[in-house]
Structure 1
Amino acid sequence: MAWNVLSLFTTSGMLFLEVSLVAFLLQGNYASGLEALTRTFVVSGLIVGLDLFLKVIYLFGFGVPLFVDNSEQTHQIKWGLWVFHRLVLTAVYGVILFMYHSKWRERLPARPAFYRYVCIMFIMNALALLACGLTANGASFGFWLYGATIVCYHAFYLPLLYKIFLADFFQEEDLHLENVYYSEMKDAGFFDADWE
C-alpha cells in the first residue's frame, strides 16, 4: 500500500513537470508571465488530475498492482493501461516532431533545445511503449526493457532538463573572463618562475 501511494505521487509529480514544461514552451510569446504560468498550471493540473484519478481507480478500485512488478505473473489490465499511457505520450511527442517538419512549424518555439528535448522524450517513450507491449504479450525482455527505461527516466530526467534548457543560462560570464585573462597573462609570461 505504501509503495503504491509513493509511486503514485512520484509518477504524478514527474508527469506534472513534463506536461508543464511542454505546455509552457508551446505558448511561445503569446502570453504574459503570470497568464502563461496560470494557463500552464491549469492545463497540467487537469491532465495530471485525470491521470491520477484513473490510476487511483485501477489501484484501489480494481486492485490492479500498477507499480508492483512481478515478472512471474503478468497482469493484462496493468500492461494494457501502461501501453495506453505510453501510447498517448509517444503520440504527443510524435505530433510535435511532425509539426517541426510541416507548415505549422512557426507555431512551435524557435529554440533548438526544445526540438532536442522532444526528440529525446519521443525516443524514451517509444522504447517504453515497445517494452510495455512486449511485456503484455509475455516477453521477459520487455519487462527488463521497461524497468531500464523507467530507471533512466527517473534518474536522468532532471539532469536532462538542466543540460538542455538551463546550462547555458547559469554559465557564469565572469568565469569565462577570468579564463581569458589568465591565458593572456600566461602568454605574456607573468607566471614564469623567473620572477625572483
Structure 2
Amino acid sequence: MQSLNQTATNSSPPFTLPFSQDPNLSSSSASTTFNEGGVTSYVGPPMYNWLFECHGVWHNVALISASLAFLLYLGFQAKKSFAKLYHGRSYIMISYYACLWLVSLLNLAWCCFQAWECTPGREVAWNILCLFTTSGMLFLEVSLVAFLFQGNHASGLEALTRTFIVSGLVVGLDTLLKAIYLFGFGVPLFVDNNDSQHRVKWGLWVIHRLVLTAVYGFILFMYHSKWRERLPARPAFYKYTTIMCILNALALFACGLTGNGANFGFWLYSATIVCYHAFYLPLLYITFLADFFQEDDLHLENVY
C-alpha cells in the first residue's frame, strides 16, 4: 500500500489546475485559472476574460480609454492636419504624422488584446504584437532623440533621411535581440508577472532602461552646458526630455527591485508601463507636432 501511495504521489501533475467559480456568476461566466511557471492564465468566456481577467478591469479600461481617446482626437483633427501638411510640404512633419498614426493603431491593438497575455495558445501572437508595438514606439523615441542631436542644422529631406537611417538601425538591432531572446531562448520579455526567478528577463530590461535613461540624462546635461546651442531652442523639447528621463529612471529602479523579488518594484514597473502606453504618444504629439498644426505659418519647420 505504501508503494502504491508513493507511485500515485510521483505521478501527480507538475503544476496545479485550480478551478474557481464565483457563486454569483452564472455557469456561462465562470473561468478556469491555470498557473504554470508563475504565469497565470485564464480560460473562460472571451468577453469576461478580455475585460476582467489578467491585469484587471481598471488596468484595461485605463489603457484602452486613453489610447482610443487619442486616436479619436487624431481622427477629428485629420482633415485640418492633412490640409496643413499638404500646403506646408514638410517631409519631416508628414513622415512623423504618418508614423504617429501607424504606431497609435498598433498601441490601441496592444491595449485591446491584453487578455492574450494570459490566454493559453496566444503566446506567439502576443509576443509578435508586443514586438511590433514596442518597436514602433521606440522608433519614434529614437528618431526624435536623433533629431534633437542634429540641433539647428536639422531641416529638409536630408535631415529626415539621416534621422530615419540612424533610428532604423538602432531599433532594428533592438528588435532582433528581443526576438532572439523571445523565440530562441524562451525568455518571457512581454509577460508581466511578479516572478523574480526570470533574472535574465529583468536583467535585460535593466540594461534597456539604463541606456534610455543615460541618453535622456545626457541631453539634459547638454541643456545646462556650453553645448546647449547645438539643441533646438524649444522649451517643449526640454520638458519632453525631462519627463522621459524621469519615467525611464523609475522603470529602471522598478526593474532592479523586481529582479530582486520586491513586490513594490513590480507594482511600480506596471505603473510605468501603463503611463508609457497611455500618455507617450499624446506627449510626442504635443511636443513635436501640435505647434505645426496650430500655427498659421505653414513653414514652421525652420523653427525646429
TM-score range, shorter chain: 0.7 to 0.9
CA positional deviation for 1:60 = 1.0
Query: Alpha carbons of 1:17 and 1:5: their partners in 2 closer, same or farther (altered >3 Å)?
Result: same
Unaligned runs of 5+ in 2: 1-123, 297-304
1:67 match: secondary structure: coil
Q: Size of the alignment, in residue pairs?
A: 173
- The answer for the alignment partner of 1:138 in structure 2 is 261
Which residue is 1:74 aligned to?
Answer: 197
**Aligned positions of 1:84-103 closer than 5 A:** 84-103=207-226
1-structure distance, mates of 2:154, 2:238: 21
Equivalent of 2:229, from 106, 121, 126?
Answer: 106
Label 1:31 to 1:145 Cα distance change in 2 as closer, same or farther (>3 A). Answer: closer
More strand by share: 2
List, as ranges, runs of 4+ consecutive aligned residues in structure 1 with deviation greater than 4 Å: none
Q: CA deviation at 1:72?
A: 4.2
Contiguous gaps of at least 5 residues in structure 1: 174-196
Structure 1 residues 23-172: aligned runs within 5 Å: 23-72=146-195, 74-171=197-294
Structure 2 CA distance for aligned equivalents of residues 140 and 62 of structure 1: 26
CA displacement 1:156-180 (0-9 Å, x = unmatched): 011112223333333376xxxxxxx
SS in 2 for 1:161: helix
How many percent of aligned residue pairs carry the same amino acid? Answer: 83
| SS of match in other structure, 1:167 | helix
CA distance in 1, matches of 2:196, 2:250: 22
- Aligned partner of 1:48: which letter? V
Any conservation in 1 of the 2:189–2:201 contact (CA below 8 Å)? Answer: yes
Kindly tell me: are residues 118 and 172 of structure 1, through their superposed partners in 2, closer, same or farther at Cα, counting changes over 3 Å? closer
TM-score normalised by the chain length of structure 2: 0.55
Contact 2:152 2:230 in 1 (8 A): no
Measure, in 2, the Cα distance between the counterparts of 1:168 and 1:74. 47
Offset from partner CA, 1:11-54 (integer Å, 9 cap, x none)? 00100011111112321332441100100110000100110111
Q: Is the 8 A contact 2:258 2:266 kept in 1?
A: yes
Output the amino acid matched with 1:158: L
CA distance in 1, matches of 2:153, 2:288: 20
> Quick one: which amino acid aligns to residue 21 of structure 1?
L
Residue matched to 1:193: none
- When normalised by structure 1's length, the TM-score is 0.83
The structure 2 residue matched to 1:22, chosen from 125, 135, 145, is 145
By how many angstroms is 1:62 displaced? 0.8
